[in-house]
Amino acid sequence: MSLYKGDSAEYDLIAFAPDSSAIHVQRVDAAIVSKLWSYHLVVRATGEIVREDRHPILKNALPVAARKAYGNWRKELPRGELMVEWFAGQQEKGERLFLVRVTRSAVEAYSATIKADGTLVQVDGQD
């Protein structure tokens, strides 16, 4: 439903990727409920994203500069990994950010937040 008229109209959406295997699991009373990972998205009539919850994306959906920044940052980490996960999200009046999480084991993981232009915003690691 639109909140405004014309080009300033904003649309609230709940989106999910039906071909993704990402799920959200939560406990509801005595039951455990699993559902496809969905996220909230607000888009203007012009197609501009106003805000989007952080959600999984494919590596090939990244801007080239962000992919290059990841490659440079990844060289600094120990070799070997169990899993690499990519996420995208945007706060209102903010810019779209990309988060990568590199999991090496059950107790060792690293993450970086990268802007579309390839700037590293935040780097975290745990051993």
**pLDDT value of position 19:** 66
**pLDDT value of position 113:** 93
- Token pair listed for 8: 């300033």
Q: Over the chain (127 residues), what is each successive 10-residue block's mean pLDDT?
A: 65 76 81 83 87 86 90 82 86 90 86 92 73
Q: Is 80 exposed, middle or buried (0-12, 13-18, 19+ CB in 10 A)?
A: exposed
**pLDDT value of position 7:** 67
Q: Does domain 58-127 bear CATH number 3.10.450?
A: yes
**pLDDT value of position 127:** 43
Q: What are phi and psi of 99, to 5 degrees?
A: -115, 130
Q: Where are the domains of the chain?
A: 1-51, 58-127
